[in-house]
């Protein structure tokens, strides 16, 4: 685990180009141990690319990335990935669809797209206990492909938690979940973060996903940081109107969340 005052994640002037086109431009971003951040942006803002860089699945074109005290280019990325829990829908399409749910969760131990290494009784029991904790024990032996989209999302989250990571990255985790499943998941994430002392980073395009669990918000627009700071300062009508480029209203939502709607 990281120390209380340590930086969990640091990006310094990070840019990313694809075929000469800038996707991310001069990103400066830092997370301290125990902090929970939500990254809010519209489609095409560079959110997915940023997630791939933070989790070690892609490299910036320029700038410096340090995650959990390990600087990219000077560390073993494969080992670092095991300290990061990643939950992303793009993983779903790279995992063996006929593997059992238990194998999918266990593959998170190795940050691999499938289970290709032997696991012992201790690891298997840990995965089974995790499934039971989130009421997914009945799915244990089912092929991953037979699950509903909501069930798949839950299993991807458990896969990300199996290593008891120091940093958990959530890429649009609520997209396939109904309202009730989303609320259960938010409660579950709060319990896990408190018990494990890990930091959370959540990517979303919906303001109502940003619960009180996430104390800080970064607004990403056209590959650049538009603003970042405390949640209550970022989810304001004037700032979000400038961010979206159109007038919006911020309506009270459950548990002090904010629903942003066009004016």
Portion of the chain with pLDDT greater than 70, in percent: 98
pLDDT score of 114: 77
Tell whether 89 is covered by a domain. Answer: no
Contact 245, 221 (CB under 8 A): no
Tell whether 210 is covered by a domain. Answer: yes
Contact 42, 240 (CB under 8 A): no
Q: Are 181 and 109 in the same domain?
A: no
Q: Are 56 and 157 in the same domain?
A: no
Q: Answer with the one of 115, 137, 162 that is the final residue of a domain.
A: 162
Tell whether 93 is covered by a domain. Answer: no
pLDDT score of 149: 80
pLDDT score of 191: 79
Q: Count of CB atoms within 10 A of residue 263's CB? A: 8
Across the range 112-130, mean pLDDT stands at 87
Tokens encoding 61: 């074109």
Q: Are 117 and 59 in the same domain?
A: no
How far apart CA 110 and CA 159 sit, in angstroms, is 10
Beta bridge partners of 10: 30, 66
Domain count, the chain: 2
Share in percent of the chain as helix, strand, coil (round to 5): 35, 30, 35
Distances (CA, A) of 14 to 28, 59, 175: 7, 10, 28
pLDDT at 185 exceeding the cut of 60: yes
Across the range 170-178, mean pLDDT stands at 84
Between residues 160 and 4, the one the model is more confident about:
160
Q: Are 202 and 254 in the same domain?
A: yes
Q: Are 169 and 76 in the same domain?
A: yes
pLDDT at 3 exceeding the cut of 50: no
Across the range 53-58, mean pLDDT stands at 89
pLDDT at 6 exceeding the cut of 80: no
How far apart CA 253 and CA 83 sit, in angstroms, is 34
Q: Answer with the one of 113, 147, 162 that is the final residue of a domain.
A: 162
Tell whether 17 is covered by a domain. Answer: yes
pLDDT tens digits for 190-205? 877 777 778 899 999 9
pLDDT at 4 exceeding the cut of 80: no
Contacts of 251 (CB under 8 A, 6+ apart): 258, 259, 260, 261
Angle between helices 149-161 and 179-196 (to 10 degrees): 0
Tell whether 92 is covered by a domain. Answer: no
Q: What is the side-by-side order of every strand in the sheet holding 62-67?
A: 21-32, 7-18, 62-67, 70-71
How far apart CA 10 and CA 69 sit, in angstroms, is 9
pLDDT at 256 exceeding the cut of 50: yes
pLDDT score of 113: 77
Q: For residue 230, what is the domain's CATH number?
A: 3.40.50.300
Angle between helices 121-133 and 149-161 (to 10 degrees): 130
pLDDT averaged over every residue in the chain: 89
Q: Are 172 and 245 in the same domain?
A: yes
Tell whether 94 is covered by a domain. Answer: no
How far apart CA 207 and CA 25 sit, in angstroms, is 23
Contact 216, 228 (CB under 8 A): yes
Q: Are 177 and 255 in the same domain?
A: yes
Q: Are 123 and 105 in the same domain?
A: yes
How far apart CA 2 and CA 80 sit, in angstroms, is 13
Q: Quick one: pLDDT band at residue 170, thresholds 50, 70, 90?
A: very high
Tell whether 105 is covered by a domain. Answer: yes
Q: Answer with the one of 162, 195, 210 that is the final residue of a domain.
A: 162
Q: Are 247 and 148 in the same domain?
A: no
Q: Are 79 and 182 in the same domain?
A: yes
pLDDT score of 174: 85
Across the range 62-67, mean pLDDT stands at 96
pLDDT tens digits for 208-255? 999 999 999 999 999 999 999 999 999 999 999 999 999 999 998 887
Q: Are 181 and 254 in the same domain?
A: yes
130: domain range?
99-162
Q: Quick one: pLDDT band at residue 5, thresholds 50, 70, 90?
A: low
Tell whether 90 is covered by a domain. Answer: no
pLDDT score of 43: 85
Q: Are 183 and 251 in the same domain?
A: yes
């Amino acid at each position: 685990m990281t120390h209380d005052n340590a930086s969990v994640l640091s990006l310094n002037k990070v840019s990313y180009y694809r075929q000469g086109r800038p996707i991310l431009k001069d990103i400066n971003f830092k997370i301290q141990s125990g902090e929970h951040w939500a990254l809010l942006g519209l489609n095409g803002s560079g959110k997915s690319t940023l997630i791939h860089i933070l989790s070690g699945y892609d490299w910036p074109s320029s700038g410096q990335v340090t995650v959990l005290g390990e600087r990219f280019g000077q560390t073993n990325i494969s080992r670092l990935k095991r300290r990061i829990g990643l939950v992303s829908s793009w993983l779903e399409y790279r995992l063996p669809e006929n593997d059992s749910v238990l194998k999918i969760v266990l593959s998170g131990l190795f940050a691999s797209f499938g289970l290709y290494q032997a696991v012992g009784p201790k690891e298997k029991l840990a995965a089974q206990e995790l499934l039971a904790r989130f009421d997914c024990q009945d799915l244990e032996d089912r092929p991953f492909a037979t699950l509903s989209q909501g069930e798949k999302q839950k299993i991807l989250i458990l896969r990300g938690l199996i290593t008891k990571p120091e940093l958990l990255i959530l890429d649009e985790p609520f997209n396939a979940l109904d309202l009730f499943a989303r609320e259960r998941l938010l409660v579950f994430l709060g319990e896990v973060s408190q018990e494990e002392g890990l930091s959370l980073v959540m990517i979303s395009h919906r303001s109502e996903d940003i619960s009180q669990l996430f104390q800080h918000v970064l607004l990403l627009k056209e590959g650049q940081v538009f603003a970042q700071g405390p949640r209550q300062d970022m989810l304001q009508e004037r700032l979000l109107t400038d961010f979206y480029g159109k007038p919006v209203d911020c309506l009270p939502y459950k548990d002090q969340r904010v629903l942003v709607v066009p004016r």
